[in-house]
Amino acid sequence: MRCLPSQPRPHWREQCESLGFTFHSIDGRYWDETKAYRFTLAQIEHLEAVTEDLHQRCLEAIDWIIREEHFAPFGLSPSAIQLVQRSWRRKEPSLYGRFDFSWNGSGEPKLLEYNADTPTGLLETSVIQWYWLQDCQPGADQFNSLHEKLIARWRQIAPRQPMYFAAQQDHEEDTGNLLYLLDTAHQAGLTTRYLPIEQIGFSALQQRFVDENDHPIEHCFKLYPWEWLIEEEFGRHIAASEIRFLEPAWKLLLSCKAILPILWQLFPEHPNLLPASFTDNLSGAHVRKPLYSREGSNIQIVAPGIDERSDGPYREEAGIYQAFAPLPRFGDSHTVIGSWVVGDAAAGIGIREDSSLITRDSSRFIPHFFIE
């Protein structure tokens, strides 16, 4: 795994925007093709195997939590627990997720967290870096089958009724990711409709969710966190309705940082897991993470010579402690690998860089390739 300089294409902005990637310059620079990461085929195959293994471990952990009714660490209300249990017992399908790893290409990738409910970075991983590869590394390959796997997965789980796609209306990044997913579903043959989440209503008479024209919503892909949804007036009606959401409610458990100590408890010494605990009893360098923090908010790193922390709205929230696995450093940047799973299969990687050890929503996205 090497970080190599790369010459930016003169037309990259126009191409990104023509592909729907309008948020390429968050905080001045988000998409960054002044460099690229090169992998070997063996490294890519190892990432693929690790991703699929951890995905199965996560499914086993969910099954254990629900069988044992081990919900206390998640801080959920009884009604939220019922939604989780119901969705798991119904075997409601999942579409996708993203594991974040610390790895420099040697040894074992270490799982930092699992973005299982509302992961973003899809468009740049699936489409934008693929176009970059064709232009800049036409003789190489890329760990990137996201587009094909998403279409295939939609065909597996396609409902007979229209699938609504909902996100916050004024959030450009979420809307861009949502419309890309809508397009993959459309290519799979689904009937699709876009609807800002603010326009979803609930009919007390019919006991069902409806769109702006009072048409019933029976299936909805929401790019909106479950932990927000269940706390709002909107979410209080879910149990009484027959709406089916993607991602399903059981994904709430995997997207919560509480899953990290549970995984370590169930699979101690797993080579791709880091020691994790609900109490500050880890020896040595560690990281504190709020249970439901997002986009790198309120993370604290405690290590020799390091006392780094990020701001955010989760300051008072309960958290977990995880052994510190420093992000590999290439030049002046720290690198995290986001490894995607669609259905049960690994589907590609996206790489983020930051001058900080904490990856945020504004951290730069860097393309990659591999040589056989």
> Could you report the per-residue pLDDT of 319-343, keeping only the tens digit for each?
999 999 999 999 999 999 999 999 9
pLDDT tops 90 at residue 26: no
pLDDT tops 90 at residue 124: yes
Per-residue confidence band for 283, with pLDDT thresholds at 50, 70 and 90: confident
In a domain, 30, yes or no: yes
| CA torsion angle 44 144 336 332 (round to 10) | 90
Average pLDDT, rounded, for the chain: 96
pLDDT tops 90 at residue 90: yes
Tens-place pLDDT, residues 57-83: 999 999 999 999 999 999 999 999 999
Per-residue confidence band for 33, with pLDDT thresholds at 50, 70 and 90: very high
pLDDT tops 80 at residue 346: yes
Instruction: Quote the tokens at residue 206.
Output: 């019919």
In a domain, 292, yes or no: no
Instruction: Quote the tokens at residue 305.
Output: 């010579």
In a domain, 198, yes or no: yes
Secondary structure of residue 239 in the 3-state scheme: coil
Q: What is the pLDDT of residue 143?
A: 98
In a domain, 358, yes or no: yes
Q: What whole-number percentage of the chain has pLDDT above 70?
A: 100
Would you list the DSSP string of 11-63? Answer: THHHHHHHTT-TTTTGGG-SB--SEEEEEEHHHHHHHHHHHHHHHHHHHHHHH
Per-residue confidence band for 242, with pLDDT thresholds at 50, 70 and 90: confident
pLDDT (mean) for 191-199: 96
Instruction: Give the other-Cβ count within 10 Å of 204's Cβ.
Output: 8
In a domain, 304, yes or no: no
Tens-place pLDDT, residues 176-191: 999 999 999 999 999 9
Instruction: Quote the tokens at residue 354.
Output: 């930051």
In a domain, 80, yes or no: yes
pLDDT tops 90 at residue 222: yes
Q: Measured on CA atoms in the order 362, 234, 75, 65, is the torsion positive or negative?
A: negative
**CA–CA dist 95, 82 (Å, integer):** 21
Across 52-56, 281-285, 335-339, least confident range: 281-285
Q: What is the pLDDT of residue 233?
A: 86
In a domain, 289, yes or no: no
Q: What does pTM read for this prediction?
A: 0.96
pLDDT tops 80 at residue 312: yes
pLDDT tops 80 at residue 27: no
Tens-place pLDDT, residues 164-178: 999 999 899 999 999
Residue-number span of the structural domain to which 12 is assigned: 2-257+327-371
Number of domains in the chain: 1
In a domain, 305, yes or no: no
**CA–CA dist 5, 80 (Å, integer):** 48
pLDDT tops 90 at residue 235: no
User: What ranges in the chain are assigned the alpha helix state H?
Assistant: 12-18, 41-68, 78-89, 122-123, 129-136, 146-157, 172-187, 226-229, 251-255, 259-266
Q: What is the pLDDT of residue 250?
A: 98
pLDDT tops 90 at residue 234: no
**CA–CA dist 141, 126 (Å, integer):** 13
Give residue 346's Cα distance to chain centre.
13
Per-residue confidence band for 19, with pLDDT thresholds at 50, 70 and 90: very high
Q: What is the pLDDT of residue 95?
A: 98
pLDDT tops 90 at residue 316: no
Contacts of 228 (CB under 8 A, 6+ apart): none
Q: What is the pLDDT of residue 336?
A: 98
